[in-house]
Amino acid sequence: SYELTQPPSVSVSPGQTARITCSADALPKQYAYWYQQKPGQAPVLVIYKDSERPSGIPERFSGSSSGTTVTLTISGVQAEDEADYYCQSADSSGTYPVVFGGGTKLTVL
């Protein structure tokens, strides 16, 4: 199997910067995508192709990639950003074209 590794939880105070990482061997060759999921709701795409932001997503959400790790950065965190965040990518062989990370719970203190 192929796995994307995320920290289970990240905590920040309002106005600070939150960074959520996702690590996997194929990330230098495969794009990553990030989703935000609030309780009882469907996930929402917040970053695609490592660093592109869909229309309607606030500018405080950004993505970056370095080697085998991609990072979702939320600048100036607001209370409404408290949610679960999932990365998605693929392996390099095509066996696993869609894989989700285990998810990171972002807590706004």
Partner 1 sequence: QVQLQESGPGLVKPSETLSLTCTVSGGSISSYYWSWIRQPPGKGLEWIGYIYYSGSTNYNPSLKSRVTISVDTSKNQFSLKLSSVTAADTAVYYCARDPGFAVVAATGVTTDYYYGMDVWGQGTTVTVSS
Taking the complex as a whole, the smallest distance from the CB of residue 80 to partner 1 amounts, in Å, to 19
DSSP 8-class letter at 56: T
CA distance 80 to 67: 31
* Total Cβ atoms within 10 A of residue 60: 15
Residue 6's nearest CA partner among 60, 72, 74 is 72
Which residue of 21, 58, 65, 102 would you call a contact of partner 1, by CB under 8 A? 102
Q: Which is nearer to partner 1, 19 or 49 (CB)?
A: 49
Does the footprint of partner 1 cover residue 63 (CB under 8 A)?
Answer: no
Q: Which is nearer to partner 1, 55 or 67 (CB)?
A: 55
Q: Judging by beta carbons within 10 Å of its beta carbon (0-12, 13-18, 19+), is residue 49 exposed, middle or buried?
A: exposed
Contacts with partner 1 in 78-97 (CB under 8 A)?
84, 86, 88, 90, 95-97
Q: Is 89 helix (H, G, I), strand (E, B) or coil?
A: strand
Does the footprint of partner 1 cover residue 100 (CB under 8 A)?
Answer: yes
Residues that bind partner 1 (CB under 8 A): 1, 31, 33, 35, 37, 42-45, 47-49, 54, 84, 86, 88, 90, 95-103
